Amino acid sequence: MKKRATNPAELYDPRDDMLQELADTIQSLLKENTLLRDKISVGQFDATEVERIDLAQRLEELRKANELLEINNRSLTHSRNWFQNQAAQIIGSRNYWEKQAKKLQRLTNQGGQNV
């Protein structure tokens, strides 16, 4: 049987740090890639320099707004999942106690008839 770790130091796994660092690096590279693609798109846009600057600023604003919306969406999804889990547990509990009440009612009714 496996011994459960009670000390937080026993739960620490240095691989978790490495995974987090790799995930951060991937996110950083994805952002850099997106910025480079935006610069290429703006550079190929057939317009005046002012319009290109305006387009680049608009793209940056939209990317930031999109990032905030994605964070908000993840938060809402997490919250929804938590509430659905709580509701499922409460429904299961209610069903259990409803069955117990019906059994008790049957036993009570049978007891009164036998007397």
- CA separation (Å) from 45 to 40, 49, 55? 9, 10, 9
Q: Using a cut of 0.75, tell me whether the model's pTM lies above it.
A: no
User: Could you tell me which of 55, 58, 61 has the C-alpha nearest to residue 41?
Assistant: 55
pLDDT tens track for 69-100 = 999 999 999 999 999 999 999 999 999 999 99
Longest dimension (CA), the chain: 99
Confidence of residue 115 (pLDDT cuts 50, 70, 90): very low
pLDDT of residue 5: 58
Confidence of residue 14 (pLDDT cuts 50, 70, 90): confident
Q: Which two tokens stand for residue 33?
A: 């890639």
